Structure 1
Amino acid sequence: MIMQLNNKNNAVIVYQSNSLHGAIRTPSDKSISHRALILGALCLGETTIKNLLLSEDVINTAEALRQFGANININKDAECKISGIGIGGLLQPEKNIYLGNSGTSARLLIGLMSSCEVLVKFEGDESLSNRPMNRVLSPLQKVGLEILEDNDRKLPLTLRGATMPVPIYHHLTIPSAQVKTALILSALNISGTSTIIEPIKTRDHTENLLKLFDADIIINKNSDGDDVIKINGLVKLSPQKIDIPGDPSSAAFFVVAGLIMPNSVLKITNVMTNPTRAHFIDVLNRMGANIKIAKTYSKCGEDVCDLEVTSSELKGIIITKEEAPSLIDEFLILSVAAAYAKGASRFCGLSELRVKESNRFEAIINMLSSSGVSCRNVGDDIVIDGKGEVIGGSEIKTNLDHRTAMASFILGLNAHNKIRIDDISPINTSFPGFTQLYTQIGGIYKSE
């Protein structure tokens, strides 16, 4: 069913629940949904996408691509058919492109238009308009992207794509899958070979999808062990029929829920296990989690599995800064696991959390500290002193961040006192249906 956008404040009270039981099908992956839409729009011919995630962020990407000239139809069963415009075929949008709260949409679409002769004004909501875009703008200026309205490198931004784009040679100094993907999308419309060097591997869905769509992309290692990604531009992409796998970042919330609630057993199906996305399972296993893989299969060139999660006594853990890039979307829910664990946990190298949908570094500390959990920062690290229980009695501000809202729900599952969440409407940007699943397995909350 196609989701209706909800921008109203929606406060809830979360109560301590009983044991959790049932089966949950993980919603489709948001990262792959964005990328599949974009690559489908760059094909000549019809691409079919099954199980597209019908979240606000993904819908905003689809609408932007329509403004660039793609014909996109999405039915009630989340099947999407795209009649593309071809490489370099972007049309001049007739109006400003509004992207809501989606930083992924913004950064990827800036990359897409940077090597095409179009003039675009990108706009977003209050949260997105406070997020920095310089990491993607600076390397794309070397391609020929012009910034006509700067606004301190934040949205709203007015940009003109390059008339004669030059091949990219860029060394990623800060791990970022979004910046990498923006550069790759730009390179698709540039004559010649573009090179991107990635010292620390980030999620590689763009590279995997490009191989499915018959792009000319080669990935090797250099003498330092870095990934060297080479893209030959102006190569025709082939339309595909693809099925989007489940989002591991969404599954993580219910995995932790099943672990922290006594006498609970959950089956969570359709979980993508791409190594750059599912590292949180390894982390939880190190904490003592009882997580079993019940079945494995593949979708869209990605490994997928079904999980059986049983309540467990968790222990504290150290997560190194080298692990941080592959856990960037899971630290909020991992902080909940650490709060219910026994012993100290230390999450290292979390500076990137400060520039997500909200300042998630502060969000973790505020969420846990206000709920009676000892939590502090040491530079870019967060230290959580888990006592195996959470007092609760807190009021948590989501600051328009979907993951803060969902993590707060899970925190409240076994807290001794109720937890108030000021606004859960941002959840629709990534996980429509979250609250229904929450109550389906035994979670208790009520709307104010």
Structure 2
Amino acid sequence: MSSHGDPIPMTSRKTRNLRGTAHVPGDKSISHRSLILGALSVGETTIDGLLEGQDVLDTASAMRAFGAEVTDHGGGRWSVHGVGVGGFAEPDQVIDCGNSGTGVRLIMGAMATSPITATFTGDASLNSRPMGRVTDPLALFGAQSYGREGGRLPLTIVGAADPVPVRYEVPVPSAQVKSAVLLAGLNAPGQTVVIEKEATRDHTERMLAGFGAELSVTEEDGKRVITLTGQPELQPQSIIVPRDPSSAAFPVCAALIVEGSDVLVPNIGLNPTRAGLFYTLQDMGADLVFENPREEGGEPVADLRARFSPDMKGIEVPPDRAASMIDEYPVLSVVAAFAEGKTHMPGVKELRVKESDRIDAMAQGLRAAGLTVDEGEDWWTVHGLGHGKVPGGATVESRLDHRIAMSFLVLGMASEQPVKVDDAGPIATSFPIFERLMADLGARIERANG
């Protein structure tokens, strides 16, 4: 069953000549943070191009529950009248974050250093995911958490009445954990320090600085050290959200494997902590070009042109690139199926605890479609068959995971036999226009009878 209703099976069939311009939604990471930082500012923040998928809408609802005035003006334009750092009100109801791990973890951080109590829940997928890696550092500020076994939702956080600043080294690369700690540090006196062994996406740091927080980033002993001075008065902003590189991955990857394709994806955010997939595809021999590079709102952007690339080769993906493309490995593995030779993807343990165990989900589905896949705890290898040689013909489980569903629908666009996804409903959480956008390019995706 999908996260918001009955299952929606979909079948994707082989096609040719994906062509046109793919206007993908706004960046989900920046959309979440725009709403949260707008709510923590004093005054009105305006947001243009907000991603209106269910994940982000759930975060908007949560900000209302904490006392901010959040208004949808239509056409992706929103405004947030914030309550200021430390100004969150105690919500009257349970905060339902749906399918969004980013939303729930960032919101937990934002409220953990205020003297209020909030209970969080989500759909079946989110409620199965561990929250200890966020609640553990939040406890250092003085917050208390009470959840199900393993620190799972539903979970109640009692915010710290007298928070203290912390110095925290993130044990595994995670932008969500880092961001939760930084947001908690906003309402703690003194300096909160977060240390990363490996750099992760830095939207939170960029946006905190843009909203007026005193924040510095230095390097010590090869580690990234972020220092935030607490209790600022954040200034409202006018934000234009770049288009989401994680969403762009699907039309881009489809164009690379579908014969005769030429697809332009404009205004894509190319923050270096997010763009690893595109460089990896180029390493494989993809015909992928960055056009009109520029900067908007402190974030690098460009227009991406992707063309059919029948001669791609499998590669060893650098493990230090994992953090910059962690959400894109499922669709990368689909491209790898159509490349010649092995594509080895190490350093991806984080994929085991996403919306699903993405390594297992993709490995099982690819095997059902005729591929050979090897896997370990933090790596996997796809043995590519080359263009025109992937059998397909599988029915695969999405496991309530939008990226798994979309990845296998991309696979079906170039495999010899159709690929059916048992439930594509979760796609609405992050990429609500996926089905229409791909159809406009020429894809043959149809809703199937259960």
Q: TM-score if structure 1 supplies the norm length?
A: 0.97
Q: Which residue of 1 aligns with 2:11?
A: 13
In structure 2, do the counterparts of structure 1 residues 149 and 421 end up closer, same or farther at CA, with 3 Å as the change threshold? Answer: closer
Where do 1:314-329 residues align within 5 Å?
314-329=312-327
Flag the 1:133–1:379 CA change in 2: closer, same or farther, 3 A: closer
Aligned position for 1:305: 302
| Match status 1:443 vs 2:440 | no
Deviation at 1:391, TM superposition (A): 0.3
How far did 1:19 drift? 1.7
Q: In the TM superposition, what is the alpha-carbon distance from 1:152 to its structure 2 partner?
A: 2.6
In 1: Cα distance, 2:435 partner to 2:147 partner: 40
1:244-300 deviations in Å (ceiling 9; x for gaps): 001101101111111111111111111111001011111001100111122122222
Deviations 1:167-218 (CA, angstroms, capped at 9, x unpaired): 0110112000000000000000001111111110000000001111111111
The residue number in structure 2 matching 1:434 is 434
CA contact (8 A) 1:26 1:270 kept: no
What CA deviation, in whole Å up to 9, does each residue of 1:111-133 have, x standing for no partner? 11110011111011100000000
Paired residue for 2:181, among 163, 180, 183?
Answer: 183
Where 1:45 maps in the other structure, the secondary structure is: strand
Q: Which residue pairs with 1:359 in the alignment?
A: 357
CA distance in 1, matches of 2:295, 2:50: 16
Q: Distance in 2 between matches of 1:30 and 1:97?
A: 19
Q: Partner residue of 2:404?
A: 404
* Partner of residue 336, structure 1: 334
How far apart are 1:442 and its partner, in Å?
0.9
SS in 2 for 1:318: coil
Distance 1:344 1:123 in 2: 40
Q: Tell me which residue corresponds to 2:264.
A: 267
Contact 1:297 1:304 in 2 (8 A): yes
CA distance in 2, matches of 1:113, 1:151: 22
Matches within 5 A, 1:213-224: 213-222=211-220, 224=221
1:340-395 deviation per Cα after TM superposition (whole angstroms, max 9, x unaligned): 00111111122110100011010110121010011111442211111113101100
Shift, 1:445, TM fit: 2.0
Secondary structure of the residue aligned to 1:291 is strand
| Aligned Cα root-mean-square deviation (Å) | 1.1
Q: How many residue pairs align between the two structures?
A: 443
**Unpaired segments of 5 or more residues in structure 1?**
none
Q: CA deviation at 1:33?
A: 0.3
Aligned to 2:293: 296
2:319 aligned counterpart, secondary structure: coil
Distance 1:165 1:231 in 2: 15
CA distance, structure 2, for counterparts of residue 345 and residue 380 of structure 1 = 14
CA contact (8 A) 1:55 1:428 kept: yes
Q: Structure 1, residues 121-150: CA drift from partner, whole Å, max 9, x if none?
A: 101110000000010011111110112344
SS in 2 for 1:258: helix
> How far is the alpha carbon of 1:15 from its aligned partner?
1.0
TM-score by length of 2: 0.97
Equivalent of 1:236 in 227, 230, 233: 233
> Match for 1:427: what amino acid?
I
Q: What is the CA–CA distance in structure 2 between the aligned matches of 1:176 and 1:379, rounded to whole Å?
A: 17
SS of equivalent to 1:298: strand
Question: Contact 1:6/1:428 (CA < 8 Å) preserved in 2?
Answer: no
- Give the aligned partner of residue 394 of structure 1: 394
Contact residue 276 and residue 322 of structure 2 kept, 8 A: no
Aligned-residue identity in percent: 41
CA distance in 2, matches of 1:40, 1:378: 41
Inter-partner Cα distance in structure 2 for 1:390 and 1:288: 19
Partner residue in 2 for 1:68: 66
Q: Structure 1: how far apart are the matches of 2:147 and 2:21?
A: 49
Contact 2:409 2:420 (C-alpha < 8 Å) held by counterparts: no
Alignment match, 2:25: 27
Q: How does 1:177-216 map to 2 (within 5 A)?
A: 177-216=175-214
| 2:161 is equivalent to residue 166 of structure 1 | no
> Quick one: distance in 2 between partners of 1:76 and 1:39?
21
Q: Take 1:77 and 1:279, find their aligned partners in 2: how far apart are those partners?
A: 30
Q: CA deviation at 1:6?
A: 4.9
